[in-house]
A and B are shown apart, each in its own frame.
Chain A
């Protein structure tokens, strides 16, 4: 699919205007979300903005196509992203919600690694930029 440069820039810029008022904002996270927004616009011509509601559904959904031991994000992260999760080895995972763990989704390298691992484990494929952005938007809510 041919990347539309102009469209990417427009969506990128619009993102800073259209950030939902109820999100907990942070410069690093904002920049990452804006990058995902530009990628999402390329993936899907119909993309306008991220949806925290869709992010919540995505988090809670029982996905098909991944590894049998991890059918959902909730399998390891717990039913609520406000609480701690647990790895299959018994190690505690800090809450996903930014309100509890403010440093979440601010490190690109860390984010790339964990989205790669966990999307492939749970969904059996890489997550789309839209899915990632929705997910982060949900986790950034108050």
Chain B
């Protein structure tokens, strides 16, 4: 009996740790126009990373998108905005979205995902030398270190950070 319980417990632990990352993983991005138009210069960000009001701000200011003119024709803009707002951090009924809203003041409308409190908290231990590394360049370059952004997985298991002399290292907390 105790053997059975041991095996059962071990199995349950194995299953739960296996699905832990899946729980907080972001849903797949399923919008062709968004995927195509918003990944020409940077990776496709999951819409669950910013609240509706932030996406509204981004899409309304594409003439000066962090210093670049990233303007779209009216129809493409409308379609993308609709998708983003429907899947925003304060709208999407998924755990990853709820987590991303943690700590955000109602008075704030961040333009950058890296200005979200959750991002800041998760990256608080990173030295500034890491951000300055040529392989990273800017905080919006998630896929420089996060190996599975396309699968919506951002946990520590799949992170490698730039090391000295062009090497890469696993992130050790």
Query: Does B140 contact A89, Cβ atoms closer than 8 Å?
Result: yes
B68 / chain A contacts, CB cutoff of 8 Å: 67, 69-70, 88, 117, 121
Query: Does A121 contact B73, Cβ atoms closer than 8 Å?
Result: no
Query: Does B67 contact A89, Cβ atoms closer than 8 Å?
Result: no
User: Considering only CB atoms and an 8 Å cut-off, how many residues of chain B contact the other chain?
Assistant: 16
Residue of A nearest to B65 (CB): A117
A104 within 8 Å of B (CB atoms) = no
Query: Does B67 contact A87, Cβ atoms closer than 8 Å?
Result: no
Interface residues on A, range: 10 to 19
For the complex formed, measure the closest distance between the CB of B39 and the CB atoms of chain A, giving whole angstroms: 9
Which chain B residues numbered 103 to 132 have a C-beta less than 8 Å away from chain A? none
Which chain A residues numbered 80 to 123 have a C-beta less than 8 Å away from chain B? 87-91, 112-113, 116-118, 120-121
Please encode chain B, from 125 to 145, with 1 for each CB lying within 8 Å of some chain A CB and 0 for all others: 000000000000110110000
The total number of A-B Cβ pairs within 8 Å is: 38
Out of A87, A112, A121, which one reaches B69, CB within 8 Å?
A: A121
A121 / chain B contacts, CB cutoff of 8 Å: 68-69
For the complex formed, measure the closest distance between the CB of B4 and the CB atoms of chain A, giving whole angstroms: 55
A87 / chain B contacts, CB cutoff of 8 Å: 41
For the complex formed, measure the closest distance between the CB of A17 and the CB atoms of chain B, giving whole angstroms: 34
Query: Does B42 contact A89, Cβ atoms closer than 8 Å?
Result: yes
> A residues engaging B (CB < 8 A)?
67, 69-70, 87-91, 112-113, 116-118, 120-121
> B residues engaging A (CB < 8 A)?
40-42, 63-64, 67-73, 137-138, 140-141
The 6 closest A-B pairs by CB, nearest first: A117-B69, A121-B69, A87-B41, A120-B69, A89-B42, A89-B41
Q: Supply 20 further A-B pairs (C-beta < 8 A) apart from A88-B68, A121-B68.
A: A67-B64, A67-B67, A67-B68, A67-B69, A69-B67, A87-B41, A88-B41, A88-B67, A90-B141, A91-B42, A113-B72, A113-B73, A116-B71, A117-B68, A117-B69, A117-B70, A117-B71, A120-B69, A120-B71, A121-B69
